[in-house]
């Protein structure tokens, strides 16, 4: 089974949300249907980045890293063309 670390962006205000899941498609549906408390007031959301991991521990470790200042810098660098449009 694969696990995914993902980043969503709110189309409402540009805010980013980082999370992890074992079922990316199902999790995106839950987010966009307002079933996730952290994102329910920032709908609609779009997937802007994801990584696949082979186990849950790696996915949670990566999620925690991406939430740090270094991780946010990494994502801004990876999404540079997307963010500058």
pLDDT (tens digit per residue) in 3-60: 999 999 999 999 999 999 999 999 999 999 999 999 999 999 999 999 999 999 999 9
The CA distance from 41 to 67, in Å, is 20
CA angle 20, 22, 26 (to 5 degrees): 95
Domain that holds residue 60: 3-84
Number of domains in the chain: 1
Measured CA to CA, the distance from residue 57 to residue 37 in angstroms comes to: 23
pTM above 0.85, yes or no: yes
- Residue 83: pLDDT band (50, 70, 90) is confident
Backbone phi, psi, residue 45, to 5°: -120, 150
CATH at residue 15: 3.40.1440
């Amino acid at each position: 089974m694969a696990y995914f670390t993902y980043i969503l962006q709110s189309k409402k205000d540009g805010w980013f949300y980082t999370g992890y899941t074992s079922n990316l498609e199902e999790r995106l549906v839950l987010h966009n249907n307002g079933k996730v408390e952290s994102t329910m007031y920032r709908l609609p959301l779009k997937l802007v980045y994801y990584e696949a991991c082979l186990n849950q521990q790696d996915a949670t470790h990566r999620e925690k890293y991406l939430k740090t200042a270094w991780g946010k810098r990494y994502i801004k660098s990876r999404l540079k063309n997307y963010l500058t449009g």
